[in-house]
Amino acid sequence: MRRLWRLSSLRRVRSSHVLIRTLSTTNGANTNAAAVEKPYYVTTPIFYVNASPHIGHMYTMVLADSFKRWQTLKGNKALLCTGTDEHGMKIQRAAALEDVPPRQFCDANAAIFKDLAQRSRIDNDFFVRTTDPDHVEAVKHFWFLLNQKGFIYESKHEGWYCVSDECFYPESLIEKTVDPMSGQVRMTSIETGSVVEWTQEKNYHFRMTALKDRLLQFYEQNPEWVVPASRMSEVVNWVKNNLEDLSISRPVDRLSWGIPVPDDPGQTVYVWVDALINYLTKAGFPGWTPGAEHAGGWPADVHVIGKDIVRFHCVYWPALLLALDLPLPKRILSHAHWTLGRKKMSKSTGNVVNPFFAIERWGADPMRFFLLHDGGIAYDSDYSNAAIVERYKKLLQWGTGNLTSRITRPKSWDVRFMVETAERLPPLGEKPSLLSEQRQLLLVLPEAVSRHMDQLNPAGALKEIMAVMTQTNKFVTDAEPWNLVKAKDLKLRDEQRLRWTIYLAAEALRISGILLQPFIPDKAEEMLDIVGVDRTRRRFEDARVGADFTYGTPMRDPGKSAYDGLFPPLPVED
């Protein structure tokens, strides 16, 4: 086997020695590592730039963003990485079809994905591109270490290759199908339905089968590593029944657009090996300082991915990391897909939802809300304009927006006065009442939301908050504070009831507004401004009853009509 890496300079030798020493300290040999704060590290998959982004890309971004923002809300340092996957045969062919150089093709499409992140209000710290120089160097160094540890060998490879999925499939996962339109017989992947082609070539392989027992042991010891649990079962089944050594390069005469294999310009690094290493690139690999290996965030706290790339992230990726004794990501959230009319979205059938059009029509925050509230984790969700309108009206406009207006607009009471005097109100007592039940609702809300987020379930968190908005609206209706205000001779007991009512309703707005920040950041900010919550008092620790008695003076006009409210009527509702 030809030598895969030629260390041509003393600098490179030294850097490899530093990294090898770093890898050993990662496993606990260096006690100083614990002293370095590890940020909470969230990633999206890097998106393939062979086509324009669709609503599924936005969903993945927003999911990951909600986790990053949630950690920031809780006072933790957090990092979010997203970006684009720009190498491989699909890119090479797509660029050729447009008759432009691959780099020019990638530059144009990467800019579109970056724009989508900005318009979706994604608070990403990194936007990685696999064409970035630091990523190219990280891939080359990762390859060098794999080879040094004896995990790479050269061999003739033959099998069914899918250009669309960028992977080989074993015979057991291939079936013969007939195209219903043309009658053409073709071989396709059972998993994805994509066409495969028989390929014979000489390339490099990764000894993945040598790690089978370690993979299965890791899965057994970490049964909740993949969310949902059903996909963990799929991963275990794949490793037990389909694991093979992985072809990790392609001949340059078939694939030239990619990272050259170190010391072998006739081969190109397999796109999935290249792509997966991006998570390490932006965590500082390979330049980790001994004792501070975790400063860049690795290991990732959660990889957010779609269900169609589970095998790459849950089999190939942990195997590659185990080969180098690197820590594995802590959890992987594998979400389901969006359908349209209960049918799979497909560019070929023209039923793909353009996220830019959706944001333009409904707004970034309403779209974020809908995707997070209705998006599926275990099961696919159906996208429809009617569903967006329904969620907007019922939960945002009539729920959150209406409650905000009901409490902050009336001249009959002064929210600031109700808040600042609430500390002196007599206790409600233990006897169940309208007031005590409302207070209890608010007491348990923060931890209920936190539990859902710990379980990687933003939909559950949002539903908890929306339930409080709905219940608080009912509470205000039942308490009838407007009738208490109109009374000529207000008894002390009724005055206290009035103050408790407005205060608890205002607390519902304040606490919910704080908790909504990771999900609908702009509207949550607007809501908190209307309620008059100081910008330094919008942390998770502030989201508890009685944590703040300084708010109540609006920092933003609450408006006078439905059209200048927090969630105004939608201009188009078809």
Strands of 260-261's sheet, edge to edge? 249-251, 264-269, 260-261
Annotate 59-82 with b (16+ C-beta within 10 A) or e (fewer).
bbbbbbbbbbbbbbbeeeebbbbb
Q: Which of 274, 304, 335 is a domain's end point?
A: 335
* Digit-coded pLDDT (tens) for 225-243: 999 999 999 999 999 999 9
Same domain, yes or no, for 331 and 404? Answer: no
Q: Determine contact, residues 243/216, Cβ cutoff 8 Å.
A: no
Band of pLDDT at residue 22, cut at 50, 70 and 90: very low
* Overall average pLDDT of the 79-84 stretch: 98
Same domain, yes or no, for 448 and 320? Answer: no
CATH of the domain at 194: 3.40.50.620
Same domain, yes or no, for 327 and 393? Answer: no
Same domain, yes or no, for 472 and 413? Answer: yes
CA distance 286 to 134: 9
CA distance 63 to 373: 10
CA distance 150 to 206: 9
Question: How is 295-362 classified by DSSP, letter by letter?
Answer: TT-PSPSEEEEEGGGHHIIIIIHHHHHHHTTPPPPS-EEEE--EEETTEE--TTTT-PPPHHHHHHHH
* Digit-coded pLDDT (tens) for 264-307: 999 999 999 999 999 999 999 999 999 899 999 999 999 999 99
* Digit-coded pLDDT (tens) for 392-438: 999 999 999 999 999 999 999 999 999 999 988 888 766 668 999 99
Same domain, yes or no, for 434 and 296? Answer: no
Band of pLDDT at residue 164, cut at 50, 70 and 90: low
Same domain, yes or no, for 310 and 403? Answer: no
CA distance 308 to 131: 24
Neighbours of 214 (CB within 10 A): 13
Record the pTM.
0.89
- On whether residue 454 sits in a domain, the answer given is yes
DSSP label at 184?
-
Residues recorded for the chain: 574
* Digit-coded pLDDT (tens) for 203-222: 999 999 999 999 999 999 99
Domain that includes residue 132, residue range = 10-27+37-335
* Digit-coded pLDDT (tens) for 102-129: 999 999 999 999 999 999 999 999 999 9
What's residue 181's pLDDT? 60
DSSP label at 308?
G
Residue 574 reports pLDDT greater than 50 = no
Contacts for 488-495 with beta carbons within 8 Å, 24 or more apart?
none
How many helices (H) does the chain have, and how many strands (E)? 21, 19
Residue-averaged pLDDT of the chain? 89
What's residue 20's pLDDT? 43
Comparison of pLDDT for 484 and 135, the residue scoring more: 135
Helix (H, G, I), strand (E, B) or coil at 223: coil
Same domain, yes or no, for 314 and 418? Answer: no
- On whether residue 202 sits in a domain, the answer given is yes
Give the chain's domain count: 2
What's residue 2's pLDDT? 39
- On whether residue 506 sits in a domain, the answer given is yes
Residue 35 reports pLDDT greater than 90 = no
Comparison of pLDDT for 153 and 1, the residue scoring more: 153
What's residue 542's pLDDT? 98
* Overall average pLDDT of the 316-333 stretch: 98
- On whether residue 573 sits in a domain, the answer given is no
Angle at the Cα of 377 (from 374 to 380), degrees rounded to 5? 70
Band of pLDDT at residue 23, cut at 50, 70 and 90: very low
| Side-chain-side CA neighbours of residue 93 (13 Å) | 8
- On whether residue 373 sits in a domain, the answer given is no
Phi, psi of 159 (to 5 degrees): 170, -175
Percent of the chain with pLDDT over 90: 77
Give the chain's radius of gyration (CA, Å): 27
Same domain, yes or no, for 285 and 397? Answer: no
What's residue 140's pLDDT? 98
Task: Please name the amino acid found at residue 400.
Answer: T
Residue 27 reports pLDDT greater than 50 = no
Strands 264-269 and 249-251: antiparallel
Band of pLDDT at residue 369, cut at 50, 70 and 90: very high
What's residue 174's pLDDT? 61
Same domain, yes or no, for 240 and 306? Answer: yes
Same domain, yes or no, for 473 and 538? Answer: yes
CATH of the domain at 503: 1.10.730.10
Neighbours of 25 (CB within 10 A): 18
CA distance 225 to 222: 5
- On whether residue 251 sits in a domain, the answer given is yes
- On whether residue 419 sits in a domain, the answer given is yes
Ramachandran assignment for 99, one of left (phi > 0), alpha (psi -120 to 50 degrees), beta (any other) = left
Q: Which of 318, 335, 352 is a domain's end point?
A: 335
What's residue 196's pLDDT? 65
Phi, psi of 542 (to 5 degrees): -85, -10
Band of pLDDT at residue 189, cut at 50, 70 and 90: low
Comparison of pLDDT for 47 and 189, the residue scoring more: 47
Q: Which of 315, 335, 355 is a domain's end point?
A: 335
Q: Which residues contact 472 (CB under 8 A, 6 or more apart)?
A: 403, 438, 441, 504, 505, 508, 509
Same domain, yes or no, for 317 and 412? Answer: no
Q: Which pair of tokens denotes residue 46?
A: 């890097």
DSSP label at 429?
-
Band of pLDDT at residue 202, cut at 50, 70 and 90: confident
Percentages of the chain per state (helix, strand, coil), in multiples of 5: 50, 15, 35
* Overall average pLDDT of the 324-333 stretch: 98
CA distance 553 to 556: 9
- On whether residue 359 sits in a domain, the answer given is no
Same domain, yes or no, for 316 and 441? Answer: no
What's residue 156's pLDDT? 76
Helix (H, G, I), strand (E, B) or coil at 107: helix
Comparison of pLDDT for 112 and 190, the residue scoring more: 112
Q: Which ranges of 74-132 would DSSP assign to H, the alpha helix? A: 89-97, 102-119
Angle at the Cα of 285 (from 279 to 290), degrees rounded to 5? 135
Q: Reduce the secondary structure of 122-191 to three states and give it as a string.
A: CCCCEEEECCCHHHHHHHHHHHHHHHHCCCEEEEEEEEEEECCCCEEECHHHEEEEECCCCCCEEEEECC
